[in-house]
Amino acid sequence: MASAVIFPVAALALLVVGYKFVRSGATAAPVGVRHLCFAIALFSISLALLTPASLRLASEIEPFPHFTQLLANGLGLIGAHRVHAMLAYSLEPPDRARRRLRAPSCALLLVLAVLIVCAFGSRTPAGEPFGPAKIGDPYVLAYLLVLHSYLTWTIALLVSRMRRYLPEVTAAEVRAGLRVAVIGGWFGLCWVLWRGVSLLTVHLLGMPVSLTRLVDTVLAACAVALLAIGGSLTSLGAWWQRPASWLRRRRALRAITPLWLDIRATVPEVVLPSGGVVGTELTLYRRIIEIRDAQLALRWHVHPSVADWVREKEIEDPRQLAVLTEAAALATALLAKDVGKRYAQDAPIAEPPVADADIDAETTWLSAVARAYAQDPSIDAVRERMRDTLSIGEVVA
């Protein structure tokens, strides 16, 4: 069970971190990125080596008893230290980061030395993992206490620093990656605490905790997988965002289509040659251009009082008022164009704020205008008023 879960998770984590390392420039990648990739790779290898199947297989070839267990735990500890190095080099100048890492590095060396002594002194048979069932051996008990104490301290410190750093991050992918990594850190902390509870329960009460191995496997696998995913979001973010981006454009295209169909029927000269254009994004952008061209062609057909008609609705939100004004201007202009009615005044049509003048904001704006044009009761009322005005042959100077 453990091997069936751990091996695929470890392989996936190594694949993801390898992709991030290559995308970031390999050896030319920033120091923080190199430390992060190194840490996740070490966590993955450590997790794979700690499975019962790996320990049994390695016991036949390891140079001394419990070498594989010691190697796996050592790689995990070094990986945790590398995550701290990643944060230090990402948040501080190199000289200060090196000074900040001196104490954790000394603590790491001391812990590794204690683990080596305990591994050599243990009487537990080779190939059997150190766990709560083996704590009758004082060396195993000391090994596990030192290991879990260090892991608890280092993971808690890691989660705390990432949470403090999170409000300072502005890039969406980095923020999302940190949030996922923080969740992974919490899973890692839960895993260490669970191991500690299991250890103390057996040592103090002599009662083994049920489902220990299953819970160990799930918590450890989730921690490594979430750290790998969080660390890769900056590299894979654009790829993961493609489906969401396509859905947004698809919804926008569906929203503007009723307005565009009315424009195409009334002002066919603005429709551009298709030129083999296919795909949601290109179709959306072409229709946005055609709608904007139609607004220029229709400006002499906009009733000069249309803005006043919309203001009569007493709409408090300025943006919604602007959306309704533009939708009403288009609705009245299309009706006037149908009957050949022109007005002497070139009536202005509401435009989105200049600060929003990019293609995504333009898409959002026109989608809102098109929805109001097709669905808002206020625009239906303006349409009826315009039909009444045209039917009585109002003359506007």
Paired tokens of 8: 């695929």
For the domain spanning 2-237, the CATH number is 1.20.1070
Supply the pLDDT for residue 232: 66
How would you class 218 by CB atoms within 10 Å of its CB: exposed for 0-12, middle for 13-18, buried for 19 or more? middle
Supply the pLDDT for residue 350: 47
For 85-109, give one letter per residue: b (16+ CB within 10 A) or e.
Answer: bbbbbbeeeeeebeebbeebeeebe
pTM of this prediction?
Answer: 0.54
Let me know: does 337 contact 266? Beta carbons within 8 Å: yes
CA distance linking residue 26 with residue 33, whole number of Å = 9
Paired tokens of 1: 């069970």
Distance in angstroms between the alpha carbons of the first and the last residue of the chain: 84
**Nearest-CA neighbor of 50 among 109, 14, 105, 2?**
2
Q: Which residues contact 189 (CB under 8 A, 6 or more apart)?
A: 152, 155, 156, 159
Supply the pLDDT for residue 261: 93
Per-residue pLDDT of the chain (397 residues; tens, 9 = 90+): 556 667 777 787 777 777 777 766 666 666 767 777 788 888 888 878 877 777 778 777 877 777 888 888 888 888 888 877 877 777 778 888 888 888 888 888 998 999 888 888 887 776 666 766 666 778 888 888 888 888 888 888 878 877 777 777 666 667 777 788 788 888 888 888 887 777 777 666 665 555 666 777 778 778 877 877 776 665 555 555 667 777 888 899 999 999 999 999 999 888 888 766 567 888 888 899 999 999 888 888 888 888 888 888 878 888 888 999 999 999 999 998 888 888 866 555 545 444 445 778 888 899 999 999 999 999 999 899 888 888 876 544 3
67 conformational bin, left if phi > 0, alpha if psi -120 to 50, beta if neither: alpha
For the chain, how long is the longest CA-to-CA vector?
105
What single string gives the DSSP state of each residue in 161-200? HHHHHGGG---HHHHHHHHHHHHHHHHHHHHHHHHHHHHH
CA distance linking residue 146 with residue 139, whole number of Å = 11
C-alpha dihedral (364, 365, 368, 374), degrees to nearest 10? -120
CA distance linking residue 373 with residue 259, whole number of Å = 7
Supply the pLDDT for residue 89: 78
Let me know: does 369 contact 330? Beta carbons within 8 Å: yes
Q: Which residues contact 365 (CB under 8 A, 6 or more apart)?
A: 323, 352, 356
Paired tokens of 15: 């694949």
Helix (H, G, I), strand (E, B) or coil at 78: helix
**Domain spans, the chain:** 2-237, 267-391
Supply the pLDDT for residue 354: 43
**Nearest-CA neighbor of 92 among 29, 38, 164?**
164
CA distance linking residue 227 with residue 185, whole number of Å = 7
For residue 359, CA distances in Å to 139, 171, 218, 356 come to: 66, 20, 44, 9
CA distance linking residue 211 with residue 39, whole number of Å = 29
Let me know: does 145 contact 182? Beta carbons within 8 Å: no
137 conformational bin, left if phi > 0, alpha if psi -120 to 50, beta if neither: beta
Supply the pLDDT for residue 133: 61
CA distance linking residue 313 with residue 385, whole number of Å = 13
Paired tokens of 264: 């195409």
